[in-house]
Chains A and B, each alone.
Chain A
Amino acid sequence: MPSLVYRIVVGVKVWLAKHWKGEPGETFRATVGKLSEAASKHIDSSNAADIAVESVRRVAIGKISHDHSEVVRNYAEEERTRIEAELARRTLRSQVRQSESKAEQEELTIRKLRDEEMLRRLELFAKLQEKNLMPIWDGQGRMTMVRPSKDFDWNGVLDALVSPDEFRDEPPKKRITKSNRRRSKKR
């Protein structure tokens, strides 16, 4: 006998399609992809059932609870405020960049952005661990959140998520000169 199971589905939209298709989206998808891969490896049968539900035909769409819709609406409004702030910040940043286009500052900005990405990646991981959730990215691009079992290897996921090389700064590029080439041949 079929029974009705309620699920919480949140439709997510990225305002600027070019961000989603560009580098930000690629980085985001790569991280979620790593999480998803790790989750798929360690998932037990009860979690697998969660995903199986997704392949079952959807019967009806309606509101489950007032709380959830209210909370997501609040989230959306807050997010829009953050977008405005971010847009303003970026406009300012591009103005600054126009006036000070020194290569050194550019490099510093890139390094800062890389650090910020890493920090937020770890924060995302911490949040998922705190809520005991792991995303699984299905073939249709839907992200299903599953609850891992108690013995889930969170450290293993963290290892997959953060490569030790990322903490290293890139070595300065050596210029290939005749004397360098001669020296390396001698060795």
Chain B
Amino acid sequence: MDYSRLFIEHLDLIDNVSRAAGRRRRLSPTEQEDLESVVHLRLIEDDYKKIREFTGRSTLRTYLTVVIERIALDFVQEHWGRWRPSRKAEQIGSVAVLLERLIDRDEHTFSEAAEIIRTNFGFALSDHELSRIRGELLSQGANAIKRPRTQKSKPGATSQFEIVFPPDFPAPDVKEVLTAFADYFRACGGIGLTADFEGEQVKVREGVNA
């Protein structure tokens, strides 16, 4: 089986699943971009080991979701460090641990966290009860996680850009020029400069482009 082809054919699916995993972890755009790169790399390495391990017991989407979730978990731990609940939260109980995790680690607001606890975890607790637990946690100076969430991408440093060729530029020449750029990028120590074609029509005032 040609695993590289399988990888290429499902690249959109892989990116979608990675984006969803990043969204769930509330990653910044830069972190999201990094996660997608890491996912590509992990799926490719060891001669597509992760893809080769797919046995068809579930759909490919399900399998990829599990694999990518695991990669995202490692990625987040590597970036922010492993999160542990405070001793106080553990003393109060599982709801306190959940509340702390949702607010301090995942950066949900209090009302979002309360909703998640009620809907996803089935705890029938009112906002008042939850805020009392939260108050207790805060009064003990519980786990305020420090993570570098404020990093912003530098202007012009995005890994996606466009190359605009003259309108009558022949197709084979486009390929040659792209290859020269990719070869040069590789010689600089980078890999993976790929391209997608987008035809484009631009309306201009007559004479401007004459």
By a beta-carbon cutoff of 8 Å, the part of chain A in contact with chain B is: 1-25, 27-29, 31, 49-50, 52-54, 56-65, 67-84, 86-88, 90-91, 113, 116-117, 119-121, 123-124, 127-128, 131, 133, 135, 141-147
Contacts and interface: CB of A to CB of B under 8 A. Distances in A.
A138 B188 CA distance: 22
Nearest to A21: B157
A14 B166 contact: no
B182 A67 contact: no
A88 B156 CA distance: 30
Contact of A6 (B154, B172, B197, B200): B200
Interface of B is mostly: mixed
Contacts of A88: 47
For chain B, the bracket of interface size reads 35 or more
B53 interface: no
Nearest to A15: B192
A20 B192 CA distance: 10
Contacts of A83: 44, 191-192, 194
B171 interface: yes
A79 B203 contact: no
Interface stretch (B34-42, B90-98, B109-117): B34-42
B209 A50 contact: yes
B55 interface: no
